[in-house]
Structures are given as C-alpha cells and as structure tokens.
Amino acid sequence: MPANTVVDANRDRHWMQRALQLAASGEGYAEPNPMVGCVLVKDGHRIGEGYHKRFGGPHAEVEALRSLPSIADAESATAYVTLEPCCHFGKTPPCSQALIDAKVSRVVIAMQDPFPKVDGGGLKALRDHGIEITVGVLRDEAEQLNAPYLKRVQKGLPWTIAKWAMTIDGRVATVDGESQWISGPQSRVHVHRLRARVDAILAGMGTVLADDPMLNARLVDDDGKPLTPPRVANRLIFSRGRLPPRDSKLVCTAKEIPTFLFTSPFVDPDERAWLEQAGLVCDAENDSIEGVLRKCADGLHGHRPATNVMVEGGPNLMASLIGSQPEDCLIDEIHAYLGPKIFGGATAPGPILGSGIESLAVAPQFRLIMIDKFDDDARLIYRRQSE
Ligand SMILES: NC(=O)c1ccc[n+]([C@@H]2O[C@H](COP(=O)([O-])OP(=O)(O)OC[C@H]3O[C@@H](n4cnc5c(N)ncnc54)[C@H](OP(=O)(O)O)[C@@H]3O)[C@@H](O)[C@H]2O)c1
C-alpha cells in the first residue's frame, strides 16, 4: 500500500475514533435513536464537532455544523460521522441535506444505517451531490457501540442485559434465600447507573417476594444529593400466579414508576383490580418472555420503544431467558458482579436455574469485554458472541 494511503487511512481512523467517543456521550439520552458523533476536519485540523445529545434533539451532524463560528467554514471540509446521515424528515430535517447545504467535500462514515427510512438513502443523496464518500472506517467499533439500536431495528427486540451479584463460589443467595448484599456499595453505584440508562427492568415474582426491591435508579452526586437519571425504566414483573403484596415497595410506588405485572388470566380478579387501582398495569395475555420483549421494542402500552432492558433475576426468571438451545437465548450482555464471600450449600442457587442446556456443544457463547475492580468486587461484562 502506498505510504500516502496508509497515512490517509490512519488519519481517517483517528478522527472517527473521536467521533465514536463523542457518540458514546449520548448513551442513556439518545435512545431509541442511535448514538451518533460527528467531527468536521479541514486542512488537517478539527474545526467543529457534535453528537446526538438527546432523543428529539438535533442530530450529530447539525450539532457539529452549529459548533462552527460560521457555516461557511464547513465548505470543502471532511465530515466524520459514526452512522450514515439520515435522509428523511423525522423529528428533525435530514442531515444529509444539511451536509450538502454546508458544501462539505467528503463524508467518512463508519457504518450504513439499517433503519428502513435511511438504509443507503443518505449515502445516495450525498453521492448525487458529488460528495466523496468513504464507508466502513471503524465499522466494528461503531456496530458494537450501537449494537442495542441495531438489534431493535433489525430483529424487533431490545438489547437484553442480565445482571447478577454472586459469591466467589457462584451463589446468588444463601440456602435460606438471603442475597442482600453480596456485592459492595461501589458495585451498587454502577448497578444504579445501569438502571438509569435502560428502558425497562425485569424481575420474577420470587425476587419481589424475597427482597421487596424498588428496581429503580437512585443516583447521587459526590455530596450525596439525588441526581435525575437520564431515563426512568419501566418495571416488568413476571409471575404465573402469585401477586405482589399490597404493602410491597413496587406496589406502593406504582403510581410514580410505571410497573407492569405479566401474570396469568386466572389470578384473583378482586386482588388484580385492587393492584390496578394502585397503579399497576396487569397484563394477563400469557405472552412468552420473548413476546413481552417484542412488545417492549415496539413500545409497551404506548411507552417509548425500548432499546435496552435489564434483567435483575432471579435464577428462575433467568432460566426462562436462557432456554435450552443457543437460538432460544434472549440475553445479549451479562454484568456479573463477584462479591468477596462464599455461601456453599447444595441448595444455594447459582444465577440461572431451570433445566439447563442439554450439552456443552449448545451452550450460548459469550465474549469477555470488560473487567472492573470495585473494592473487593469484580465486575465482568460479557457480550453474546454473534452466531
Ligand atoms: N444475587 C442476585 O443478583 C439476585 C438477584 C435476584 C434474586 N436473587 C435471589 O433469588 C431468589 C429468588 O429466586 P427465584 O428464582 O424464586 O426468583 P425469580 O426468578 O425472580 O422468580 C421466580 C418466579 O418468577 C415467575 N416466573 C419465572 N419465569 C417466568 C415466566 N417465564 N413467565 C412468567 N412468570 C415467570 C414465577 O412466579 P410465580 O411462581 O408467582 O408464578 C416464578 O416462580 C431470592 O433469594 C433472591 O434474593 C438474587
């Protein structure tokens, strides 16, 4: 490869890296839109940059153009964008047109947008106006960043993150069912941060009865003052018959935090009516968990489409999400917290019960993407290896 071509490719990767960094700042705010970043470069210097800061707000390209002292500065510049610029009128006008109007001469794009209203249309609009295009710079990184968005658009399912805290010997509760707390305060801060950026939190009735959880994000600043989370997750509780106690935290806060109970049509109608007047939405349509996740991706009962959901267990609900064959596994990412304790005991559960997978050959496979140390805890983040 000629030396100049190598230099150009390195330069493209350098600026795209910055655009990806910017894009990631939108996490928790941009969804259900993708996270997108844009850097404007002229004569080897960055002249402007921006990212999609929140759903409904200006897109990254527009933010970058607005960061310029004058729009005329964009003439002949190169725009580095982490996702194909849009070409349709949504909540904002098309970004491909904004780049055309600004007279940029080249657009470098990490990946095409599979969203049906775009899907190559942005590239075509730029090309039709004589703009030079390069597609695929840091494509893998861009796909990893927007994996939840891609899953929703391409498969109609949200990105599903299973989180659990377990002892060094792999137990999530003692033989008596106690589990609070296995991990330490620092780990729990990170769990609250995760809750603060997902659209829904799932739990089974066993966990509701054992732990009486709130399943909400409680963020505080360095002085302990409460912070507003980027979004409030819907709480989704699964049961085949048991109902939550009237004085449980979930029921007492159901008017403030949307709470859905997926249960059987045969539960006591009077108790169900009482729970509904207390604010719970009872859904007795007997959908599978996958069916419920599909409804979430579409927008559950008029709520915004869910891009990320988090499963807080326990081990029987987790089993329903794993299934017995790799294609049944609904979990895309695992956040496993390892706390510095051992419980032992043949009946102390691990994170996943159920009947388990049938053989090693069909075990769902994951890739380790991050290890963190929080005091004496370890957090392991795994992502499902694509088939
Ligand atoms: N360390 C951790 O990270 C962690 C996290 C969560 C829980 N835990 C511990 O786990 C224990 C509770 O375990 P668990 O397995 O009983 O809790 P669970 O999985 O939260 O609840 C199980 C119950 O959920 C319902 N359920 C499960 N799958 C379902 C499906 N596919 N459709 C509809 N309903 C479904 C059923 O409720 P019905 O029986 O009412 O039909 C089932 O009995 C507690 O000791 C708790 O402290 C630990």
pLDDT at 387: 59
**How many domains does the chain contain in total?**
2
C-alpha of residue 232 to centroid of ligand 1, in Å: 23
**185 plus 86 within the same structural domain:** no
pLDDT at 357: 87
Burial of residue 81, with CB atoms counted within 10 A of its CB: 0-12 exposed, 13-18 middle, 19 or more buried: buried
**135 plus 200 within the same structural domain:** no
**101 plus 206 within the same structural domain:** no
- Which residues, 6 or more positions from 226, have their beta carbon under 8 angstroms from its beta carbon? 218, 219, 220
CATH classification at residue 376: 3.40.430.10
pLDDT digits (tens, 9 = 90+) for 311-341: 998 999 999 999 888 888 999 999 999 999 9
Atom of ligand 1 nearest to the CA of 337: 3
- Contacts of range 280-284, beta carbons closer than 8 Å, 24 or more positions apart: 280/244, 280/250, 280/251, 280/254
Atom of ligand 1 nearest to the CA of 263: 33
**172 plus 131 within the same structural domain:** no
C-alpha of residue 244 to centroid of ligand 1, in Å: 12
Last residue of a domain, one of 149, 168, 195: 149
Within 13 Å, how many C-alpha atoms sit on residue 367's CB side?
Answer: 7
* HEC per residue, 132-162: EEEECCCHHHHHHHCHHHHHHHHHCCCEEEE
Compute the distance between CA of residue 309 and CA of residue 311 in angstroms, rounded to an integer.
7
For a mutational test of ligand 1's pocket, the pick from 201, 240, 380, i.e. the residue with the most ligand atoms closer than 8 A to its C-beta, is 240
Residues with active-site annotation: 61
Query: How confident is residue 291, by pLDDT bands cut at 50, 70 and 90?
Result: very high
**What is the mean predicted confidence (pLDDT) over 174-178?**
95
189 three-class SS: helix
Question: Distance between terminal CA atoms of the chain?
Answer: 33
**290 plus 168 within the same structural domain:** yes
pLDDT digits (tens, 9 = 90+) for 23-82: 999 999 999 999 999 999 999 999 999 999 999 999 999 999 999 999 999 999 999 999
Compute the distance between CA of residue 187 and CA of residue 173 in angstroms, rounded to an integer.
17
Residue with tokens 């304790």: 341
C-alpha of residue 215 to centroid of ligand 1, in Å: 14
**23 plus 165 within the same structural domain:** no
pLDDT at 4: 78
Range of the domain at 234: 156-384
Q: Which residues line ligand 1 (CB under 6 A)?
A: 164-165, 172-173, 177, 179, 182, 203-207, 210-211, 238-242, 289, 312-317, 320
- Which residues, 6 or more positions from 153, have their beta carbon under 8 angstroms from its beta carbon? 114, 115, 116
**30 plus 10 within the same structural domain:** yes
Which residue's CA is the closest to the ligand 1 atom numbered 8?
A: 314
Compute the distance between CA of residue 143 and CA of residue 282 in angstroms, rounded to an integer.
36
Tokens of 112: 């095409």
pLDDT digits (tens, 9 = 90+) for 115-154: 999 999 999 999 999 999 999 999 999 999 999 999 999 9
pLDDT digits (tens, 9 = 90+) for 194-249: 999 999 999 999 999 999 999 999 999 999 999 999 999 999 999 999 999 999 99
Cβ contact 384:333 at 8 Å:
yes
**125 plus 168 within the same structural domain:** no
Cβ contact 35:51 at 8 Å:
yes
Compute the distance between CA of residue 82 and CA of residue 135 in angstroms, rounded to an integer.
10
Residues of the chain with pLDDT > 90: what percent? Answer: 91
Q: Which residue has the higher pLDDT, 358 or 239?
A: 239
Count of Cβ atoms closer than 10 Å to residue 63 Cβ: 21
Compute the distance between CA of residue 183 and CA of residue 107 in angstroms, rounded to an integer.
47
**30 plus 137 within the same structural domain:** yes
Compute the distance between CA of residue 244 and CA of residue 208 in angstroms, rounded to an integer.
7
